[in-house]
Amino acid sequence: MRSIPGPAGVLEEVVRLIELSPAPAALVSLPAWQVRAANEPLLALLGLDRAAVPGAPFPRSLMPESPVPGAAPTPRNPVAARFQSGDGAEIEVLKTCNLVTIDGEPHALVMVMQRADPPGAASFANPDEGARALLSTLSFDAVGVVDVQGNILYASPSAETITGYPPEELRNRSLLELLHPDDRALALASMGRAFTSSDQVESGIFRFRHALGEWRYCETAGKAVHDDAAGTVLVIHYRDVTESVRNRAEMEALTERFSRIFELSPLATALIRDSDGILTEANAAFLALCGCERDEVVAKLTTEAFWPIEEERRAIGQAIRAEGQVHDFPLRFRSRTGREYDTLNFAETMLVNGETCVLGIAVDVTDRNALEQRLLQVEKLDAIARLAAGVAHDFNNVLGVIKLEAGVLGRNSSLDAEAREGLAEIVTATDRAARMTRQLLAFGRSQAVVQTRIDLREAIAELSSILRPLLGHAVRVDLDLSEGLWPIRADSAQLDQVLVNLALNARDAMQGKGVVTIRGRNETFANDCLVPRPGDYVVLTITDTGSGMDELTRTRIFEPFFTTKAPGKGTGLGLATVHGIVVQHGGTITVESEPGAGATFTICWPRFDAAAPLPLAPHP
């Protein structure tokens, strides 16, 4: 239906155009079919007085055929009719109706082409001047008449604006010649159906060749009518819809591209209906994040299923309604399995099929947030390390004084055996404390790593006296060290750090109660994947009776920041540090464990080679 909106006076302008038309024409209000305006030719045809026009019923014989009496007419559907005029004469007319909206109300513009004494096909080629003027003034489409052979008998003046051909050049031409070759079979079938059934209205979109050579899309509606002179003919209304077809094709292409971008986006994206929060569409990334299949989500679940915190949902909803969009909005996202993610959300409102929807994008930042927390932990550890290094320096000075004074006292010949034994214990304790300060200095990166020859039996035996009180009375430490254990090349402070870390890790795995066994043996490897190169190694194993670990944990146990402990209970750096120290010394470390069967860490440490030069100590 064509709409003619406008300011006051539009109705008057339409009435004026009808009055100026030399062909019979009327403006009829719908659905009552009451005449609002009619020109003199139509009044004469109907035999009506102008005073009786407003509100007069429009003759039923001139109404377009409709399955329901009084219903709105079908536009672009001209039909032939016999009509009894006001003076009683029976005449033939071709009636045409176009729907329009004037100031919001439906109306029909009706024209009547009088066909008294029709001279066969010539009546279509040369309509009377009144019909020609009305076609030019009131018709919104071009009109053509075609015979059963497909020859054009008539073309309205507006045909030239669509086809580029003047009406006289179209007459007697074959309609099929003007159609695209790919559309001719479809057009022939449509024409055949129309000629077979006079009640059939055939419509479609076909490509016509313009006079300039380009193909134009035309929407058509045709109906067969009977003419006494020309026989059965097909009256076709058509209009140029090329731009509409092209726009629709472009829109479909844009929609397809958007759909592909939507689906292939690596970001979790969903379309949410604003009225009820139902998810109407979701891409593969969103489905992967929530752990659902498409048919489990789309048109079934609401935002509440995935964004569990009501306060957050309310806050983002208020922000979207206030601004129309949000950026970097943090929300907790819960998958179907119950796993929760930290997400940053981007959303914008849009109209989809007349409904207000929200296009939402969720970016999983769980790992990023965890990494930020780990970096903060590293910064705290660095600060602690610097503080520890400062304390160690001062403590080392105190130890130096104690050891010096103990040495001076030891040279006093008057001391008895008990006193000398006490001084020896002071010196031993001072040396042990010095090694501890070296560990603190190494932790704070203020102490150079110095590799020396170390007797493992002696080092482990001495360290075990420290480990027992450190691990607690409920943890037993057993030593099983082979006789003649080879010496190794290592930094003593780092060796202590390796053993202490592994012992503490074992204590935690046993929840503070169990047995830690440290074993040592000599072994020569020829070609073995356990060691980086063939040679002599001291193999140390640290075994606990703890809870053990599964395969996934075992494969990640040496990763930096990986920890199985509760938040705030571990840094995930202990075993990573152990691994780094062992590898730097040319050794290897592996772990064997099963759930409920404890764990065994195996270290292969290279044997001390006196012929090999000791590495230079790096700068602190």
Residues 6+ positions from 599 with CB-CB distance below 8 Å: 506, 509, 543, 544, 546, 548, 549, 591, 592, 593
Whether 214 has a pLDDT exceeding 90, the answer reads yes
**DSSP secondary structure string, 319-343?**
HHHHHSEEEEEEEEEE-TTS-EEEE
User: 179 falls in which pLDDT band (50, 70, 90)?
Assistant: very high
- Identify the residue with better confidence: 79 or 489: 489
Residue-level pLDDT at 539? 93
Closest CA to 482 of 447, 521, 437: 521
| Mean pLDDT along residues 85-110 | 74
Residue 1: predicted pLDDT = 41
Please write the tens of the pLDDT for every residue from 354-375.
Answer: 888 999 999 999 888 888 877 7
User: In terms of Cα–Cα distance, which of 98, 187, 183, 194 is closest to 137?
Assistant: 98
pLDDT grade for 7, boundaries at 50, 70 and 90 = very low
Structure confidence at residue 121 (pLDDT): 42
Q: What is the pLDDT of residue 129?
A: 46
Q: Which residue has the higher pLDDT, 305 or 329?
A: 329
Radius of gyration of the chain, Cα coordinates, nearest whole angstrom = 49
Highest mean pLDDT among 20-29, 535-544, 577-586: 535-544
Residue of 7 and 144 predicted with greater confidence: 144
Please write the tens of the pLDDT for every residue from 584-596: 888 889 999 889 8
Report the alpha-carbon distance of residue 474 to residue 506 in Å, rounded.
13
Question: Helix, strand, coil shares of the chain as percentages rounded to 5?
Answer: 40, 30, 30
Query: Cα separation of 559 and 561, whole Å?
Result: 6
Laid out side by side, the sheet with 599-606 consists of 475-481, 514-525, 535-544, 599-606, 588-593
- Other CB atoms within 10 Å distance of the CB of residue 260: 10
User: Residue 12 carries which DSSP code?
Assistant: H
Side chain identity at 546, as an amino acid letter?
G
pLDDT at 620: 34
The values of phi and psi at residue 217, to 5°, are -85, 130
**HSE of 43, CA atoms in CB hemisphere, 13 A:** 15
**Greatest distance between any 2 Cα atoms in the chain:** 161
The reported pLDDT for the residue numbered 135 is: 44
| Range of lowest pLDDT (143-157, 318-332, 335-349, 393-407) | 393-407
Sorting pLDDT into bands at 50, 70 and 90, what band is 65? Answer: low
Half-sphere exposure of 141 (CA within 13 A, CB side): 24
CB atoms within 10 A of CB 74: 16
Buried b (16+ CB within 10 A) or exposed e, 370-402: eeeebeebeeeeeeebeebbeebeebbeebeee
pLDDT score, position 442: 59
Mean pLDDT of the chain, nearest integer: 79
| Cα separation, 447 vs 440, whole angstroms | 8
Convert 142-174 to b/e letters by CB count within 10 Å (16 or more is b): bbbbbbeebbbbbbbebbbebbbbebeebbeee
CA 189 to mean position of chain CA atoms: 46
Instruction: State residue 618's pLDDT score.
Output: 39
Q: Which two tokens stand for residue 363?
A: 């970016």
> What number is the average pLDDT over the span 306-335?
88
